[in-house]
Structure 1
Amino acid sequence: MKLVGISGTIIGAKTSIVVQRVLEEVKKHHPHVDVELLDLRDYDIQFCDGRNPSTYTGDTKKVLDIVNSADFYIIGTPIFQGSLSGPLKNLFDLINPKVIRNKVMGFVATGGTYQHYLVIENQLKPIAGFFRAYVAPSYVYVNNDHFNRENEIVDSDVLSRITSLVKEVVFMQAALKSSEEKLVTLTQ
């Protein structure tokens, strides 16, 4: 099973730190899961212009290939102006919906106010619904107050929520994979 953690921003470090922390927890508790961090800061992605996703080249193709290779996802975004980041929205626009259909997603977000957690409920979960993805019931919202000066997550409740999210996404993906394998066996 391959889990791709997407840090959906091109500025700042906190979102990437949280996504990376989730991936570290996965490796710690589920070493059989292959994990990869897709940090959008590392790529020069073209704007979606409506063409077939398979026709993009360069970094855009690399990013889409990474997304396509995943069995499930942790998706992270900072919250700007009460919304998900533009680079993450652009990535969602670039992805062929068939790629994410019936795959598991878990969400993390970072923000400056405590109310911004609602973006996960009101924007990210509906986007996952459009893709027909399975969404982990838990998510992790990390406020600036949850980091120390070295940008380390220091809030014990946040760390506990990360552990819960990891358990949920891995369990959901394993159950989904198992049921798909049983279905294939029954149809043969």
Structure 2
Amino acid sequence: MKLLGISGTITGSKTKVVVDKLLAEVKCNHPEIEVELLDLKQYDVQFCDGRDPSTYTGDTKKVIDIVSSADFYIIGTPIFQGSITGALKNLFDLIPPQVFRNKVMGFVATGGTYQHYLVIENQLKPIAGYFRAFVAPGFVYAHNDHFNKANEIVDLDVLERISALSEEVVFMQKSLKAEKKEHQYN
């Protein structure tokens, strides 16, 4: 099983810190699970222009292939102007919807106000619903105050939510995989 963490921004670093921490938690507690980080900052992804995703080349094709090869996801975004980043929205537009169908998604967001956590409920979860993905009930929202000057997470509640979300997505993925296997043999 492969868990892909997505840092859905081309600016800043806090979102990547939280996604990395969550992936490290999964790797520590479930070493049998392969984890990978997709940091959009590291790729030059083209804007989606409506063409068949298989016709993209270069970094855009690499990113589509990385996302398509994962079994489940941790998707992170900073909240800018009360919304997800354009980079993450573009990624969602590039990926064929069937790639996410019946796969588990957990969400992480970072932001500068305490109300921005609502973007997870009002934007990310409906997008997952459109994809027919399974959404972990918990999520992690980290405010700028939850980090120290070295960009390390210092808030104990946030660290507990990271741990809880890591277990939720793994539990859901393993349960779905076992259920699917059971139906194949019946």
TM category, shorter: over 0.9
Aligned partner of 1:46 in structure 2 is: 46
**Other structure's SS at 1:19 match:** helix
Give the structure 2 partner of residue 76 of structure 1: 76
Q: TM-score w.r.t. structure 1 length?
A: 0.98
Query: Which runs of structure 2 are paired with 1:59-98 in the superposition (5 Å)?
Result: 59-98=59-98
Match of 2:15 in 1: 15
CA offsets per residue over residues 28-77 of structure 1, 9 Å max, x none? 11111000000000000000000111111100000010001100000000
Give, in whole Å, the separation in 1 of the partners of 2:88 and 2:114.
21
Aligned length: 186
Q: Please give the alpha-carbon distance, in whole angstroms, between the structure 1 residues aligned to 2:19 and 2:94.
A: 21
Aligned AA (2:10): I
Percent identity of paired positions between Structure 1 and Structure 2: 73
Q: 1:112 is matched with which residue?
A: 112
Could you tell me how far apart the structure 2 residues matched to 1:185 and 1:68 are? Answer: 26
Report the counterpart of residue 181 of structure 2 in structure 1. 181
Aligned-pair CA distance for 1:184: 1.1
Give the alignment of 1:130-141 within 5 angstroms: 130-141=130-141
Structure 2 gaps, min length 5: none
Residue deviations 1:5-30 (CA, integer Å, cap 9, x gap): 00000001100010000000000111
Q: What runs of 5+ residues in structure 1 fail to find an aligned partner?
A: none
Q: Which residue of 2 aligns with 1:160?
A: 160
